Amino acid sequence: MGMGKPDGLRKAQQLDGVFFSFKLLLLLLLCKQVSSQCKILRCNSGFVAATLNLRGSSKNAAYCNALRSYSSCTRKTSHTCRGDLTYHSAVHGIEDLMSQHNCSKDGPVSPPRLRPPLPNREGLELPDVCNYERNFHFKHGKNTSYVYCGVFGDPHMRTFYNEFQTCKIKGAWPLIDNNYLAVQVTNTPVRKDSNATVTSKLTVIFKNVKECIDQKVYQAETDNVPAAFDDGSANGGERQGGNSLTINEKVPERHIEIKAAYIGTTIIVRQVGDHLSFAIRMPEEVATAFTEEQDLQLCVHGCPYNEQIHIMPPPTISSLVSMETARTKCKEKLPVEDAYFQSCVFDVLMLEDTNYTLAAYNAFEDTKTLHPDSEKLHIFKNHVQGCPPLSVSLFIVSLFAGLLVQLI
């Protein structure tokens, strides 16, 4: 009897399972049209059907089998459903239910995992499971190493491994998808007649960690950058006094900062002009905690090769802003001609708006705030996708023009 679960806890877990199945039923009823590629609703309906009439002593084993089948089904849809929030909700729901019902991933029901008691040594600082930095130092005797990722402008991205890219990605794409956190951006065209895109929506899902937070979802859209999660709260719940996860408003409706102490992560979200920017610093241990099914992450691998574009506008570009004006305006904000400066010039020319100097400027400021290595703030690129820097390109063009005149 000592190993059994209290009736209250068992009933609560049963209610959680029923509530999750009910949400799946609602999704099936409300979603009349589903992408021809993403088959997540088929997985949802299969799980609902398999668990709808479970009764008796064998319920938990049968429920675990159904969860394993459900998990297998979602893994098969991972690539085609990367931009579907229903898919991400299903994956997170499966993880929670597997843990609640003590289900192993590939076997029978596993016994509850018991934590060994911590030694009570006088003068020794005990770990805090909801303070990542303190807990990491306690376990390893050293400070953790961090990685940084940022997205801004048209859109430009700096990956966890300091690769700087400009992408033409449209629609919903996952920036991050690991065991603790999922971040998805939605990019839309600046104008109907333009191929240039900017980030118009951002979704951040903080996955449930029992000791520290309930699952929380944060969403920001153009002209709507709230200082609260979707449920109206500004922290991760009552556990740990709400200090494990907090949102702070820096500029009303324009700039917020999220601190997730339990995973040692800081996120900055801004609206600059008519688009959003995103920056994150997180421990490398957290950033690399993902499975093969979670391999499509732009912050980890960068944009697919066919989605990358030249940072230098093509010679035939017709812009209301001249090259000289763009360079002058960007130089005022970014005196160093690095990748951020090049991105600034690119955005001002392509988007025909000098206000986009602020996008690159704020992105660099966020990099200075969050990047773990101050010596790697600037990225100098001799070429991007085979294109030389703007200054070199202009020199080559002028040299070629001079030779052409001499030949004529």
pLDDT above 50 (res 235): yes
Query: Residue 138 domain-assigned?
Result: no
pLDDT above 70 (res 233): yes
Query: Residue 40 domain-assigned?
Result: yes
pLDDT tens for 102-131 read 887 766 554 444 344 444 444 444 457 788
Query: Residue 380 domain-assigned?
Result: yes
pLDDT tens for 129-171 read 788 988 887 777 778 899 999 999 989 999 999 999 998 888 8
Q: How many structural domains comprise the chain?
A: 2
User: Does one domain contain both 86 and 198?
Assistant: no
User: Does one domain contain both 202 and 340?
Assistant: yes
Which residue range(s) make up the domain with 76? 7-100
Of the ranges 67-81, 275-289, 374-388, which one carries the lowest mean pLDDT score?
Answer: 374-388
Of the ranges 34-38, 229-233, 264-268, 314-318, which one carries the lowest mean pLDDT score?
Answer: 314-318
Give 71: exposed, middle or buried? Use CB within 10 Å, 0-12, 13-18, 19+: buried
Half-sphere exposure of 156 (CA within 13 A, CB side): 27
Query: Residue 282 domain-assigned?
Result: yes
Query: Residue 58 domain-assigned?
Result: yes
User: Does one domain contain both 258 and 385?
Assistant: yes
* d(C-alpha 281, C-alpha 266), whole Å: 5
What percentage of the chain has pLDDT greater than the value 70? 73
pLDDT above 70 (res 26): no
What percentage of the chain has pLDDT greater than the value 90? 37
- Tell me the average pLDDT across 262-291: 94
pLDDT above 80 (res 6): no
Sign of CA dihedral 30, 34, 40, 45: positive
Query: Residue 126 domain-assigned?
Result: no
Of 100, 126, 158, the residue at which a domain comes to its end is: 100
pLDDT above 70 (res 242): no
CATH at residue 220: 3.40.1000.10
pTM (global) more than 0.85? no
User: Does one domain contain both 22 and 81?
Assistant: yes
Unique residue bearing structure tokens 């009910």: 22
